[in-house]
Amino acid sequence: MDVPVIELTGVRKSFGPVDVLKGVNLAAYAGKVTALVGDNGAGKSTLIKGLAGVQPYDEGVVTFEGKPVTLHTPREAAALGIEVVYQDLALCENLDIVQNMFLGREEISNGTLNEGTMEREAAETLRSLSVRTVSSVRQKVSSLSGGQRQTVAIARSVLKKAKVVILDEPTAALGVAQTEQVLALVRRLAESGVAVILISHNLVDVFEVADYVSVLYLGQMVAASVPIAETNNEDVIGYITGTKSYNGGQK
C-alpha cells in the first residue's frame, strides 16, 4: 500500500458535552484522492478544521511524512503545505480576487505589497486551472457568483505548492459544467502529486474521482481508506447510514 503523506490516529474532539470525533483515524496518500463521506453532522468539517489548524483536536496523533507534528494554528498547517477549501467559503467579500488568493501570504518587495507580481501569479494560477469565468483578477469577491467564488477558493489553495489539499464539498453549490471542471481539477491536482482529501455528499462525484473512500459515521471511522475498486455505491451508502459495516474487504 502507499505511504500516507498525512495520517491521523485516535483523533478526538468535543464541544462541551458533545463528542463530535470519537477516536478517528484517517490517511491521505500522495497522488491520490481520498474521499471522506458521511451524513450531515457526522463530523467531517470538524475533522478537517483540525487538519487546517483552525480548531485543534483535543486528543490524537498527527503524522506528516512519517514524523509526528502539531497542528495548533493555521500557520503550522500552511507551513507543512496543508491547504483547505472550506465549505463556508473563507473569502473576504470586500477584497478582490488577488487580495483573497494572497491573503496571509502577500508578496512583499521593499517593504510594500508587490501588486503586480501577485496579479500575475493569480492570473497564471487561474489560467492553469482553465478558469474562464472571471474577466479580471481585480474583481471584488462581492461581485462574483457562487461558482466563481468556489473557483477563487480552490485557486487560492493551489497558489503555493501544497502537499495536501482538502476540499470540503467543493461542488455543492455548482452547476453541471462547473462541477465537471472542479472534478477535473481535483484529478489534475492528484496527478501532480498532491494528496487530495475530498469531502462530498455526492457519491457519483466520489466514484468518478476518488482512489480511496473513508466513511465517518457519528464521529467514528466505520470504513477507512477503502480502495474505490473494491467497493460500490450500495456498500458506501450502507456505511454512511450505519446499516452496514466494513470488514476489511473480506466478503
Ligand X SMILES: Nc1ncnc2c1ncn2[C@@H]1O[C@H](COP(=O)(O)OP(=O)(O)OP(=O)(O)O)[C@@H](O)[C@H]1O
* Structural contact between residues 156 and 144, judged by C-beta atoms closer than 8 angstroms: no
How far apart CA 121 and CA 142 sit, in angstroms, is 21
Q: Which stretch binds another protein (CB under 8 A): 13-21, 61-69, 129-137, 226-234?
A: 129-137
- Is there binding between residue 192 and another protein (CB under 8 A)? no
Among 4, 29, 38, 185, binds ligand X (CB under 6 A): 38
d(CA 154, CA 122): 12
Q: Which does 60 bind (CB under 5 to 8 A by kind): ligand X, another protein, Mg ion, none?
A: none
With binding defined as CB under 8 A, does residue 87 bind another protein?
no
Helices (H), 41-114: 44-51, 74-80, 97-101
Q: State whether residue 243 is helix, strand or coil.
A: coil
**Residue 142 touches which member of another protein, ligand X, Mg ion, none, C-beta under 5-8 Å by kind:** another protein
Q: Which helix (H) or strand (E) segment is 195 a member of?
A: strand 195-199
Element spanning 184, H or E: helix 176-191
Ranges within 79-118 binding ligand X (CB under 6 A): 87
Nearer to ligand X, 96 or 205 (CB): 205
Among the candidate windows 12-20, 66-74, 122-130, 135-143, which touches ligand X by CB under 6 A? 12-20
Amino acid at 64: F
Q: What would the x/- binding string for Mg ion be over residues 43 to 72, using CB under 5 A?
A: --x---------------------------
Task: Compute CA 121 distance to the chain's CA centroid, rounded to the nearest angstrom.
Answer: 22
Question: Residues 43-82: x/- map of binding to another protein (CB under 8 A)?
Answer: ---------x-x------------------xxx--x----
CB neighbour burial string for 220-242, b if at least 16 within 10 angstroms, e if fewer: bbbbbbbebeebeeebbebbbee
The alpha carbons of the chain give a radius of gyration, in whole angstroms, of 18
46 binds ligand X (CB under 6 A): yes
Selection from ligand X, another protein, Mg ion, none that 20 binds (CB < 5 to 8 A by kind) is ligand X
Q: From the list Mg ion, another protein, ligand X, none, which binds 250 (C-beta under 5 to 8 Å, kind-based)?
A: none
